[in-house]
Structure 1
């Protein structure tokens, strides 16, 4: 089972927070990758094929919607589960996220327990 997670956000403190939120998963051989913009994220997705991508919407160089569209539509990587993270909770953004193929949409500030629960489920980890 692929146990790779890519955390993509242009805010260093958000990347760190997400990594800290999920660090217990390292005990289950989960590998983490970090990207600070969309171009970097795409390069890592192409090379590493993470099972889970936590993807910020508003980023320099290429936004999360564009990254998601390329991964889900152009590359047809259905095995990459994408959770869009955004400060915007507007319906428009959620609709756009669905359009480009996002598997889930979480609004910041997010609940760390919710992020962990989704990661455990997507990666098929039994923490009991």
Structure 2
């Protein structure tokens, strides 16, 4: 009679993040993939990059074969306590300044607001000076 699978906390699993000690969380299950590190077709870096998080999406995005999924069974060591897995953070983009369609920096706009009237005034004086009838 098989015993109940061991339940691991996220913190515990996250500590196993080295080439010689690597655990992954995939679909709520915990796998000790340490013996597979040298044999993984994508290299050990791929497995290491999936530690410390729920690697389900990483695993599914690759499109592993049925034989790869069957192979996982021998690395299975238990379940993850889902209450200990941090919630995924929602990306909040930084607040943007008012829309500036031509992407001109704000200080340039302020300088132009000051200089353009002066240039117009100078042009008006020049035109008046050179078109004056004597």
Same fold flag (TM > 0.5): no
What is the TM-score of this pair, normalised by structure 1?
A: 0.25
Please identify the structure whose Cα radius of gyration is greater. 2
What is the TM-score of this pair, normalised by structure 2?
A: 0.25
